[in-house]
Structure 1
Amino acid sequence: MSVSSVQERGTSALQDASIPSTPPLGSASRGANALSSRITSVLSASYADLEIRDALETLDARGVRNTAETRRQIRLDVQKEVIQCNGEIVKDFGQVAEQLRRIGTAISSLNNYCADMRSHIAAANRETSPVLEEATSLMNQRKHVETKQQILHAFNSHFLVLDQEATVLTSTVEPVNEEFFQVLTRVKKIHHDCQVLLGTEDQRLGLEVLEQSSKQLNAAFQKLYRWIQREFRTLDLENPQISASVRRSLRVLAERPTLFQSCLDSFAEARESILSDSFHAALTGLASEEHIVTKPIEFYAHDPLRYIGDMLAWVHSTTVSEREALENLFISDGDEIKRSIQEGLESEPWLRDEGAEMFDGRKALNQLVSRDLTSVARLLRQRTEQVIQSHEDATLAYKIANLIGFYKGTFAKLLGSDSEVLDVFDTLEASAMRQFRANMRDHVAAVQSELAVAPPDLSLPDFLDEALQTLKILAKSYDTSAAGTDDQEQGFQAVLAEALDPFLSGCVNLQKGMQQPDSAIFAINCLFAAKEALSAYSFASDRAEEMDETITEQVAQLVDYQHQYLLHESGLITLLEALSHITDSEESLKSIPELDAFKPDALVAASQQLDEFLPSALIDAAENLKKLRNRKMIQDITEEAAGSFCEDFELVESKMAAADDLTYDEDEEDEEQEPGLKDLFPRTSGEIRVLLS
């Protein structure tokens, strides 16, 4: 219903209220009150209320017009529609009830059928239960039998070795091939898995299998050990393609450390004999068909040093070849041998030494090579000692010692620092050094008996010149052999102690009988020559520095000598000695003119002597050092002495100037003054420095 309809409805109500009537007084009063209440209720209603709005929208949707007839019939129409709707709903619910009755009947029928089925099933169960129980029991028995059959089959296939396989494993007629190793691996697994059988209640089966597998394994390792022994007798280490089966056999045999070590011992003995024969053939040329030598070392190496060098080179070459071959044979497969030995020690713990170190493949290889070279090293030692003892040349002995020391370092890198072969090199090196020291001391003793005086020109004595030439040879040999060593300087000290120090001591003995400056000049000449011989080698730098310090001391003595020469020749020494007790006080300075050396006549004579000395002072002073071999040092020493002389002259000049100033102040009122000290001794320090520069 629209708002206009509401307004029309209100207007109609007002019109109806305004129609006059003549009811009784009481009725009229009640009617007026009801109408007033009705109007108040209509006017006070809120048309924003949702329910009213919904009612109005419903009326509007029906298309009801706001008329008096409609207003009178609207309630009846609404009630009629409600009654019709309720009737339809009751009719629909009647149909639903009918359907529910039909469903209830069907459910009752199904319940009856289910009860019949239950009774039939219970009867069937009672009849078939014994049969099912018997069938279940039979099936369980069958399953148990099948399980036992599978266990028996698995046991036979895993723990039992066929006769054919046992023959391959233990018979010496059968070869050691891939099939042998496969069977051996299987038997080792059987032996290991016997621990499972020993853990059961019945251990008899496990013990029998364990005993049988142990016997088969022992027989297999014995067969493998004998086979390797035979292979080692015919094995050619020079061939780089060493049989892979030998390497694999060694790796497997390492699981028995005792057999493996025994095998290595026999192999080392065989190789020691072979290498010893080869070395003897290389030396003498007396070769068999196996060792063909074209140039015997003893016939073609006439020089002793070359002879020893060729022997050492042959041993080194053989060692390298031997190590490469054994490395390919024993450790080409990584740490397999180490792991095998560890497994063997775990399976045989009674063989383990608590204090022993873990197996080291590289160390074991070095030890094996050292054992192979035992006879070669012994023969090398004999021949080398014969050469060392049969020559009295100290230089040769030292070269041999350096050569041996060089190869000792090479073998240390090749075989390790704890190799037994290095003991031979230590012995030979010590023997050569003993021979060197003995020869040098014999030579020094011979030279000391011939020492007399130094050469007139203060040059190097013949024995020192010869010793320096020898020292250069020794230093060159040491530099060649000791290249790359960590302690070069310390190693060369022993050489200097034998080849240089005794001769320098002889020069010191000759120097003791000389006067200055010859003593210092001779010492400097000798030390400079020795320093020049060592300057080319870094390992002698410490000794060269020590010589520099000694030379510096001798140079200081020459500087002092030249200084004294300049002072005496110039006459300045007299003035300095006279001023030695003069201080800087006025009284002391005033007493200078009263000194004898500063009397007019004496001072004039001193000035004349200085003038006569200065023109040729440096030339005359340098003539004192003409025997010094280093010309630059002569100039430096003379210039330093001249500088000290100039400082002394400045001291004398300053004292005289101070004395003149004091004297001039006292006599300034006199008309005639006596000549001052500077007037009698007019030379200045600037002139002296120019003349002596």
Structure 2
Amino acid sequence: MDGSISNTMLNKKIAKLLESDLDHDKETLEAVKILSSCFTDNTITIRRNLSNTLEKRSLVIIENFQSCFGEIKRLMESLHLDLTSMNQSCLQTMNKIKNLKTKNQNLLEKTHYLKNERKTVDIQQAIVDKFLDRFHLKPHEIAILKGLPSKEDPHQPLPMTETFFELLGKCRQIHEDSKILLSSSQQTTGIETMDAMSVLEEAAFERLYKWTLNALRSFNPDSMEMNNLLFKAIGFISERTVLLKNCLDEYGTIRRAAVVRNLIDALTRGGPGGNPPPFDLNSNDPVRYVGDILTWVHQAIASEKELLVQLLQQCDPTTFKEINPIKTSLSFIMESLNRPIKARIEQLLMSEPSSTKSHGPLVLFKIKNLIKFYSKVFSTELLPDSQLVYTMVEIDSLAHRVFINSLNFHCAYKLGKSADGDNEQPPIDLTPTDSLMQTIYLIDQILSFQNSFILSPVDRQEIMITMVNVVIKPLIQACRVCAAKLPGLEMSIFLLNCFHEIYQIISKCEFVDEFKEALENQINDYQTSLINENASNIITYFGLTAVYYAIKNEANLPLSSITGCDALALQFCSKKVDFFLAKPDNFQLPQLSYLKSVELRDNIKRKSLEFLCQMYREIYEAINKKENEYDEPESLLTQTPDHFSSILL
């Protein structure tokens, strides 16, 4: 029974071994490999001694293991002895340290206290450094602001640089920041800091002011090249009005000498190489001469203004509430031009109207308007009370007086005078005289120049009133004096020709509506006179004058009983009416052909015929009334008024 069980178990083990995958069983493979190393030959003796062989091998392995661990044990025992010795040393050291700590406890406490104190002092030192950096300047910075000599060159002060302006700004910032201290517990420190910065700022401003004056004096007045340092200096100085005024006065003194020298050169020498030529070469052309001088002055004002704007570019405009530094300096600089401008223009104007060197009214008018125009231009660029503006006003007033004197001379000595100086006679053709046409041409030229020039309405009105009072009224009077030598009809024709020319030129004018209306009324009066004269002349030719006057006088007698109004006379008149209607133009006044204006001539003829038609109608109707006792009145005047009017009109 037991044998069968053992066989069964062995069979199972064998089956298990056969079923196992030895290729992947590493332990089994390793065991087999070791086991194979124990066989040199597969004999029964070797197989029987396999157990002894394995036990011997195990014994060898155990002996090797014991030998190795014996060495390790020895080393561990030596290490144990060393650690025990080290532990004893550490215990001794700890005991010593405890003893020393007990002895030096006060020293450690004091060291810790001093360490904390050092931290506090370091913090306070950092605070003080920050305070000094913000509210104080370093010695070398103070030396720069005060302009003290440098260490390298004790005899030469530090030059002006951008650093100076940065430090001056920092000084001001410190002064402003010190006001914060006044609201804290550090009021004394704040006041002392503000006082120190104020003193330092004053010293810096004194140095800056002196440097600016020297810089302005050292510039070449012809080129006037300025740098950024000067702009910044003027920007700071502008806060002190008195200092700025002194600097601008110094600048103005330099520039006014250069400006007047440049004007004299332009007048006498001209530009480089004679281009442009000197103004004095054009003195025989007064309008161009005056225009060149005033244009040059205008350009000089623009150039100087540009330099001043550049010089004051970094100034705060809000500091100029009471003064305008640009206009003030420009006015001061341009004062130097008063004498040469005034002397030359006055010399040009001051000549007797009767002399050969005198200029005509037209030239003087052009000069006057040039002066007035530039006077207004200068007054906008300069101060109203500046010397140059005042000089221009004086010259303008002089030019106006000279212009008026020239007009008066023209009216007094040339109107109504012939080329030989004798009293002018009306032309045979009753056209306007030569002096009248010359005067009208002069007025037309003056008006044309006025319209091409930029003048204000007030100036234009002043000119027109002057022309009317000084020229046109004397012109009308001269026409009347000349016309007084003619018979009535010729006088009306001549005056109509003259007044029409005057009216044509007056119609272009402004601000003289009242005078224009008065002249128009005079023209209408003379036209009415000629209309009546022309119509009366034709009625006289008809022989109907007696009838017409009888109608107008409202005679108490019948018309047929009045001499010249009988039937026989009216029949004779009817024949003349028929003859007139055949060629009405042949019966117009021959003097009407002398009218220079076709419009006036046609208007007079037309209104004469209208008046004639009205007179004829009145006569015709009166003849056909029963109370005038005409027999067969329709046979006396064969032309009815409507037919008469239709032919003429």
What is the TM-score of this pair, normalised by structure 1? 0.66
2:581 and 2:368 mapped to 1: Cα distance?
60
CA-CA distance at 1:375 after TM superposition: 0.9
Paired residues of 2:270 and 2:277 also in contact (CA < 8 A): no
- Find the counterpart in structure 2 of residue 393 from structure 1: 359
- Find the counterpart in structure 2 of residue 153 from structure 1: 129
- Find the counterpart in structure 2 of residue 426 from structure 1: 393
CA-CA distance at 1:171 after TM superposition: 0.1
Paired residues of 1:228 and 1:246 also in contact (CA < 8 A): yes
Q: Give, as a single letter, the amino acid of the residue that structure 1 aligns with 2:642.
A: G
Q: Assess, with a 3 A threshold, how the Cα gap between structure 1 residues 267 and 643 changes in structure 2: closer, same or farther.
A: same
CA-CA distance at 1:379 after TM superposition: 1.5
- Find the counterpart in structure 1 of residue 316 from structure 2: 337
1:451 and 1:338 mapped to 2: Cα distance?
69
- Find the counterpart in structure 2 of residue 368 from structure 1: 329
**Which structure 2 residues correspond to residues 161-180 of structure 1 after superposition, within 5 A?**
161-171=137-147, 173-180=157-164
- Find the counterpart in structure 1 of residue 97 from structure 2: none
Q: Give, as a single letter, the amino acid of the residue that structure 2 aligns with 1:481.
A: F
2:458 and 2:428 mapped to 1: Cα distance?
44
**Deviation readout 1:94-141 (Å, 9 max, x if unpaired):** xxxxxxxxxxxxxxxxxxxxxxxxxxxxxxxxxxxxxxxxxxx99999
Paired residues of 1:592 and 1:598 also in contact (CA < 8 A): yes
Instruction: Give the counterpart of 1:528 among 468, 480, 500.
Output: 500
Q: Give, as a single letter, the amino acid of the residue that structure 2 aligns with 1:337.
A: D
- Find the counterpart in structure 2 of residue 642 from structure 1: 609
Q: Are residues 1:468 and 2:450 paired? A: no
Instruction: Give the counterpart of 1:271 among 252, 255, 271.
Output: 255
**Which structure 2 residues correspond to residues 143-542 of structure 1 after superposition, within 5 A?**
151-171=127-147, 173-199=157-183, 203-235=187-219, 242-285=226-269, 295-299=277-281, 301-331=283-313, 333=314, 336-339=315-318, 341=319, 358-359=321-322, 363-390=324-351, 391-395=357-361, 396-415=363-382, 420-447=387-414, 450-451=422-423, 453-482=425-454, 487-533=459-505
Paired residues of 2:464 and 2:512 also in contact (CA < 8 A): yes
Q: Give, as a single letter, the amino acid of the residue that structure 1 aligns with 2:349.
A: I
CA-CA distance at 1:677 after TM superposition: 1.4
1:657 and 1:394 mapped to 2: Cα distance?
68
Paired residues of 1:622 and 1:634 also in contact (CA < 8 A): no
Q: Assess, with a 3 A threshold, how the Cα gap between structure 1 residues 600 and 413 changes in structure 2: closer, same or farther.
A: same
1:516 and 1:496 mapped to 2: Cα distance?
27
Paired residues of 1:454 and 1:510 also in contact (CA < 8 A): yes
Paired residues of 1:596 and 1:602 also in contact (CA < 8 A): no
CA-CA distance at 1:562 after TM superposition: 1.7
CA-CA distance at 1:166 after TM superposition: 0.6
Paired residues of 1:615 and 1:691 also in contact (CA < 8 A): no
Q: Are residues 1:682 and 2:638 paired? A: yes
CA-CA distance at 1:229 after TM superposition: 1.7
Q: Assess, with a 3 A threshold, how the Cα gap between structure 1 residues 301 and 489 changes in structure 2: closer, same or farther.
A: same
2:589 and 2:118 mapped to 1: Cα distance?
129
Q: Assess, with a 3 A threshold, how the Cα gap between structure 1 residues 444 and 685 changes in structure 2: closer, same or farther.
A: same
Q: Give, as a single letter, the amino acid of the residue that structure 2 aligns with 1:678.
A: E
**Which structure 2 residues correspond to residues 88-103 of structure 1 after superposition, within 5 A?**
none
State which drifts further: 150-159 or 395-404: 150-159
**Deviation readout 1:449-473 (Å, 9 max, x if unpaired):** 8435433332222321222232233
CA-CA distance at 1:384 after TM superposition: 0.7
**Deviation readout 1:527-569 (Å, 9 max, x if unpaired):** 2223444566778888666644442332222222222222222
Q: Give, as a single letter, the amino acid of the residue that structure 1 aligns with 2:332.
A: R
Paired residues of 1:308 and 1:384 also in contact (CA < 8 A): yes
Give the 3-state SS of the residue equivalent to 2:594 in structure 1: coil
Q: Assess, with a 3 A threshold, how the Cα gap between structure 1 residues 539 and 329 changes in structure 2: closer, same or farther.
A: farther
**Deviation readout 1:413-448 (Å, 9 max, x if unpaired):** 544766553322221121112112223323333246
Percent of pairs with identical residues: 22
Q: Assess, with a 3 A threshold, how the Cα gap between structure 1 residues 167 and 495 changes in structure 2: closer, same or farther.
A: farther
1:286 and 1:677 mapped to 2: Cα distance?
95
CA-CA distance at 1:312 after TM superposition: 1.6
Paired residues of 1:250 and 1:337 also in contact (CA < 8 A): no
1:269 and 1:549 mapped to 2: Cα distance?
63
1:543 and 1:408 mapped to 2: Cα distance?
31
CA-CA distance at 1:279 after TM superposition: 1.0
Q: Assess, with a 3 A threshold, how the Cα gap between structure 1 residues 539 and 174 changes in structure 2: closer, same or farther.
A: farther
Give the aligned CA root-mean-square deviation in angstroms.
3.8
Paired residues of 1:283 and 1:298 also in contact (CA < 8 A): yes
- Find the counterpart in structure 2 of residue 632 from structure 1: 599
CA-CA distance at 1:263 after TM superposition: 0.8
Q: Give, as a single letter, the amino acid of the residue that structure 2 aligns with 1:424.
A: T
Give the 3-state SS of the residue equivalent to 1:451 in structure 2: coil
1:689 and 1:151 mapped to 2: Cα distance?
121
Q: Give, as a single letter, the amino acid of the residue that structure 1 aligns with 2:172.
A: K
**Deviation readout 1:4-46 (Å, 9 max, x if unpaired):** xxxxxxxxxxxxxxxxxxxxxxxxxxxxxxxxxxxxxxxxxxx
Give the 3-state SS of the residue equivalent to 2:436 in structure 1: helix
Q: Assess, with a 3 A threshold, how the Cα gap between structure 1 residues 596 and 207 changes in structure 2: closer, same or farther.
A: same
Give the 3-state SS of the residue equivalent to 2:552 in structure 1: coil
CA-CA distance at 1:309 after TM superposition: 2.1
1:480 and 1:689 mapped to 2: Cα distance?
50
CA-CA distance at 1:388 after TM superposition: 0.8
State which drifts further: 219-228 or 142-151: 142-151
1:496 and 1:592 mapped to 2: Cα distance?
53
1:329 and 1:291 mapped to 2: Cα distance?
31
Consecutive unaligned residues in structure 2, runs of 5 or more: 1-112, 149-156, 352-356
Give the 3-state SS of the residue equivalent to 1:601 in structure 2: helix
Paired residues of 2:335 and 2:386 also in contact (CA < 8 A): no
Paired residues of 2:546 and 2:565 also in contact (CA < 8 A): no
**Which structure 2 residues correspond to residues 613-628 of structure 1 after superposition, within 5 A?**
613-628=580-595
**Deviation readout 1:572-609 (Å, 9 max, x if unpaired):** 332222223659xxxx9x95555555432343343344
Q: Give, as a single letter, the amino acid of the residue that structure 2 aligns with 1:382.
A: A
State which drifts further: 236-245 or 264-273: 236-245
Paired residues of 1:444 and 1:502 also in contact (CA < 8 A): yes
- Find the counterpart in structure 2 of residue 6 from structure 1: none
Q: Assess, with a 3 A threshold, how the Cα gap between structure 1 residues 329 and 495 changes in structure 2: closer, same or farther.
A: farther
Q: Give, as a single letter, the amino acid of the residue that structure 2 aligns with 1:169.
A: L
**Deviation readout 1:602-640 (Å, 9 max, x if unpaired):** 433433444455445432324131221113321221111
Count of aligned residue pairs for this structure pair? 521
Consecutive unaligned residues in structure 1, runs of 5 or more: 1-136, 343-357, 664-673
2:132 and 2:382 mapped to 1: Cα distance?
51
